A and B are shown apart, each in its own frame.
Chain A
Amino acid sequence: NAGVTQTPKFQVLKTGQSMTLQCAQDMNHNSMYWYRQDPGMGLRLIYYSASEGTTDKGEVPNGYNVSRLNKREFSLRLESAAPSQTSVYFCASTPGGLAGVYNEQFFGPGTRLTVL
């Protein structure tokens, strides 16, 4: 099992360019997440998908869109990149399902994005 994979690992964009970060998991998990990590801020939730076909905003959704393409894949799109979106982006997944049941969250290796 590859676990959670992310592409690309590094990306440099110019202000105003668009791009899509890809995430896939092979653990048959229901729930998937996108976080951003900034120095001194920890990880903050951008969007999440509790199950295939559903997406919800997290703490910092502005400037981003997501697509839960199927159960395996959850992509994050920047339509018009801004320098404030320079960050490390993490995708994560968890089995999901019953509330009150512990489910470990598994993280991808991250994408370092720089917007000039």
Chain B
Amino acid sequence: AQTVTQSQPEMSVQEAETVTLSCTYDTSESDYYLFWYKQPPSRQMILVIRQEAYKQQNATENRFSVNFQKAAKSFSLKISDSQLGDAAMYFCAYRSGNTDKLIFGTGTRLQVFP
């Protein structure tokens, strides 16, 4: 069975600085997707970024980028120029290529200090 591990329960960053959130996963599949979701205090789950396993290029969405290391089964999220609005829970998630079901990590709470 696939598993997703987020080893950092909490992280903090100064406004305008850069922070990296870690995620590792375990799978024997070759076709899969990886995601980072943001959950602000409103509880709404917001998709931040996704990565297809077959793509070698790391995904980027504005200030958010990933470091996808397929051989190491690592999928970290880098947030550049951190803003107060980035404060939230961040979940890493895995999806097999032949299903729409998501497997989530336990989350990392990010605090942003002015």
Chain A interfacial positions (CB closer than 8 Å to B): 31, 33, 40-45, 48, 50, 58, 88, 90, 92, 94, 96, 99-100, 102-105, 107, 109-110, 112
User: For A42, what are the chain B residues with a Cβ–Cβ distance below 8 Å?
Assistant: 4, 6, 91, 104-107
- What distance in Å separates the Cβ of B8 from its nearest Cβ neighbour in chain A? 13
User: For A45, what are the chain B residues with a Cβ–Cβ distance below 8 Å?
Assistant: 101-103
Complex CA–CA separation, A50 to B98 (angstroms) = 12
Chain B residues 32 to 57 lying within 8 A of chain A, measured CB to CB, are 33, 42-45, 47, 50, 52
Pairwise interchain contact A100-B98, C-beta atoms closer than 8 A: yes
Number of A-B residue pairs, CB cutoff 8 Å, is: 53
User: For B45, what are the chain A residues with a Cβ–Cβ distance below 8 Å?
Assistant: 43, 90, 92, 107
Total B residues in contact with A, Cβ cutoff 8 Å: 24
Chain B interfacial positions (CB closer than 8 Å to A): 4, 6, 9, 31, 33, 42-45, 47, 50, 52, 91, 97-107
Pairwise interchain contact B100-A109, C-beta atoms closer than 8 A: no
Q: Can you sample 5 A-B contacts with CB below 8 Å?
A: A42-B104, A45-B101, A100-B31, A102-B33, A102-B50
Closest CB pairs A-B (n = 4)? A42-B104, A107-B45, A99-B98, A43-B104
- What distance in Å separates the Cβ of A87 from its nearest Cβ neighbour in chain B? 12
- What distance in Å separates the Cβ of A22 from its nearest Cβ neighbour in chain B? 17
- What distance in Å separates the Cβ of B23 from its nearest Cβ neighbour in chain A? 11
Complex CA–CA separation, A60 to B104 (angstroms) = 13
Complex CA–CA separation, A9 to B47 (angstroms) = 21
